Amino acid sequence: MDCVFCAIINGEIPSSKVYEDDTIVAFKDLSPQAPVHILVIPKQHIKWGYDVTPENSAVVAHIFETIPKIAKEQGLDNGYRVVNNCGESAGQSVLHLHFHLLGGRDFTWPPG
Ligand code: 5GP
Ligand code: ZN
């Protein structure tokens, strides 16, 4: 399978990791859209949000338990935004489930 995030997990592609455990990894986005822009991903290859099921959702819960810890470590004491782009209309460009953790600036609502 040709997946850039699986290659990052395997160490075939270098990345700036900020967190890793048995089931998830977090690393800096190559093209940051905010002063802090981190991608948090499951090590298991899940294509996208449509494929989250009762069988694999524990890793998603774990991601959402870990995000506030990473946010605090990154100094995001004034809030942060988590984004999951799912599918073409949302602009998902890497087909391995990932959550953008963004912070260090103010964000508008609704998003563009
Ligand atoms: P998406 O558009 O699918 O929601 O987000 C994919 C993100 O992955 C983009 O923000 C893009 O900058 C990031 N990205 C793509 N390739 C790489 C890479 O090789 N390394 C890192 N660190 N980020 C990547
Ligand atoms: Zn993958």
98 has catalytic annotation: yes
Q: Output the pTM of the full model.
A: 0.98
Q: What pLDDT digit, counting tens, does each position of 4-28 carry?
A: 999 999 999 999 999 999 999 999 9
Where does residue 59 rank: exposed (0-12), middle (13-18), buried (19+ CB within 10 A)? Answer: middle
Ligand 1 centre to CA of 56 (Å) is 22
Residue of 82, 88, 93, 96 best suited for mutating to test ligand 1, as the one with most atoms within 8 Å of CB: 93
**Distance, CA of 55 to CA of 53 (rounded, Å):** 5
Ligand 1 centre to CA of 89 (Å) is 17
Ligand nearest to the CA of 45: 2
DSSP class of residue 93?
-
**Distance, CA of 26 to CA of 19 (rounded, Å):** 5
Rounded mean pLDDT, 85-105: 98
Which among 39, 35, 2, 3 has a CA at the least distance from the CA of 24? 39
